[in-house]
């Protein structure tokens, strides 16, 4: 009789512990912040990725700087249209909406430092695979030209 009581006690303890485990994991899930729907649990937010290269911080104006965008359009038409169409996929992706997918720093680093980006940056590595190994070309823009192209991308 005594050992039965001990066993029952042990059993109750077991269930109590199992119950607690369940509760605490639910609580942890409830307290975690809601994630944007595009985000997979173990993938970092792409907009947090600034890429690898000379650009660490870009400030975009509240409105588009039309003169800078026009300068960027000229650079883009001369240096980029061999592989990019503004609004359709071509040899490379269409830049339309790129500012919604990538941080401004990432975009400029991709323009200025593509060789290292496609080797080391997780997003650029994936893009290279998506585009069957054809790499983004370094067109040797100056930082100012790359910044102007970025402004032009805001107008697409
Ligand atoms: C020789 C072809 C080629 C040229 C020229 C080229 N690109 Fe690219 N670009 C690509 C390819 C291919 C990709 C996607 C695959 C990769 O990243 O390797 C890409 C990717 C990009 C991306 C990333 C787009 C995204 O959706 O994340 C940006 C931004 C970009 N290019 C901008 C430019 C700009 C600006 C120029 C001109 C200064 C330029 N590219 C010139 C081929 C090119």
* Contact (CB, 8 A) for 108 and 58: yes
Between the CA of 137 and the centroid of ligand 1 the distance, in Å, is: 6
Per-residue pLDDT at 41:
61
Between the CA of 130 and the centroid of ligand 1 the distance, in Å, is: 12
Contact 83 CB / ligand 1 (< 6 Å)? yes
Contact 98 CB / ligand 1 (< 6 Å)? yes
As a whole number of angstroms, the distance between CA 121 and CA 103 comes to 13
Between the CA of 43 and the centroid of ligand 1 the distance, in Å, is: 23
Contact 146 CB / ligand 1 (< 6 Å)? no
User: Quick one: pLDDT band at residue 86, thresholds 50, 70, 90?
Assistant: very high
Between the CA of 154 and the centroid of ligand 1 the distance, in Å, is: 16
As a whole number of angstroms, the distance between CA 59 and CA 79 comes to 24
Contact 47 CB / ligand 1 (< 6 Å)? no
* Contact (CB, 8 A) for 105 and 57: yes
Per-residue pLDDT at 33:
56
Mean pLDDT of 89-105: 97
Mean pLDDT score of the chain: 85
Distances (CA, A) of 123 to 87, 112, 153: 20, 16, 19
Radius of gyration of the chain, Cα coordinates, nearest whole angstrom: 26
Residue range 25-62, pLDDT digits in tens? 444 445 555 555 555 566 788 999 999 999 999 999 99
Structure tokens at 59: 């400030």
- pLDDT at 114 exceeding the cut of 50: yes
As a whole number of angstroms, the distance between CA 87 and CA 76 comes to 13
- pLDDT at 12 exceeding the cut of 80: no
* C-alpha of 35 from chain center: 14
């Amino acid at each position: 009789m005594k050992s039965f009581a001990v066993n029952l006690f042990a059993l109750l303890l077991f269930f109590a512990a199992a119950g607690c485990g369940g509760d605490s994991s639910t609580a942890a899930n409830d307290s975690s912040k809601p994630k944007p729907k595009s985000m997979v649990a173990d993938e970092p937010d792409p907009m947090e990725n600034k890429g690898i290269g000379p650009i660490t911080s870009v400030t975009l104006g509240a409105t588009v700087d039309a003169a800078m965008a026009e300068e960027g359009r000229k650079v883009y038409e001369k240096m980029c249209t061999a592989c990019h169409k503004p609004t359709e996929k071509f040899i490379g992706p269409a830049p339309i909406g790129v500012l919604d997918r990538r941080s401004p720093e990432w975009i400029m680093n991709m323009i200025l430092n593509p060789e290292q980006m496609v080797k080391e940056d997780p997003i650029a590595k994936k893009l290279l695979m998506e585009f069957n190994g054809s790499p983004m070309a370094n067109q040797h823009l100056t930082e100012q030209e790359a910044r102007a192209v970025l402004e032009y991308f805001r107008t697409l």
